[in-house]
Structure 1
């Protein structure tokens, strides 16, 4: 029996309030955008070894562009590294952002040999 233990982070995204409203390229938060900036931050701050160890269970599970909320999954062993990388993210595209952790919770999934 193998147990996969993950941590889920509920993050709130604050966009730059001083951003001009008439900008031609509005930033729309998507799973791809959020995942890319977090992976880039892990690569810059923890290099290739840190990125490789974090990508095992890292996934942006949900993004709500209206409420500016996202849920991010990381392994129990690597969630602090992912969390640190998220706090060091400064922009998505050309827009300044700030991530705020609202909740951190865990889950344990049991997997038997036949799964």
Structure 2
């Protein structure tokens, strides 16, 4: 049995940089950063408990969301490692757990819903009319297909 964490990585500006940095990392780099965080804060015993079941199944650099699978009994260690994570590939970020699910299907539905909400915020910020067709439309279609195609 597994737990599925839907996580948003919110980039934070450094002290000398006013703008939010771009997240230019991928799923493997998130896995490596999470592994290091778990080892640093929970030791080899913590990593030994989580390591076999932990996988990063999906990451979107557009909306910064990530789906992580971990064993049911170890999900609190993985969540703790995420909470204590400070940066990925040198990019300071705040990992925000949006949803915890017992099935991949519910994680997929939450990810699709969250993607739509983030894109709606981007459009509102750009003051685009509701019927306006933009590059986000094709992104939503492709990301929805990619998320739905994930298998356990």
Please give the range of the TM-score, normalised by the shorter of the 2 chains: 0.7 to 0.9
Q: Which structure 1 residue ranges, 4+ long, deviate > 6 Å from structure 2?
A: none
Query: Residues of 1 paired with 2:101 and 2:89: CA distance?
Result: 29
Does 1 or 2 have the higher relative contact order (CA < 8 Å, sep 6+)? 1
CA-to-aligned-CA distance 1:22-79 (integer Å, 9 cap, x gap)? x8xx641201110011000010011111101101210000000111000000000000
TM-score, normalised with respect to structure 2 = 0.61
The alignment yields a C-alpha RMSD, in angstroms, of 1.9
Report which of the two has the higher share of strand: 1
**TM superposition score normalised by structure 1:** 0.80
Q: Give the Cα–Cα distance (whole angstroms) in 2 for the partners of residues 76 and 59 of structure 1.
A: 13
Find the aligned partners of 2:73 and 2:39 in 1 and give their Cα distance.
17
Count the aligned residue pairs.
101
Structure 1 residue runs of 5 or longer lacking an equivalent are 109-115
**Corresponding position of 1:10:** 6
- Structure 2 segments unaligned to the other structure (5+ residues): 105-152
Taking the aligned partners of 2:27 and 2:47, their CA distance within structure 1 comes to 18
Q: Distance in 2 between matches of 1:64 and 1:71?
A: 9
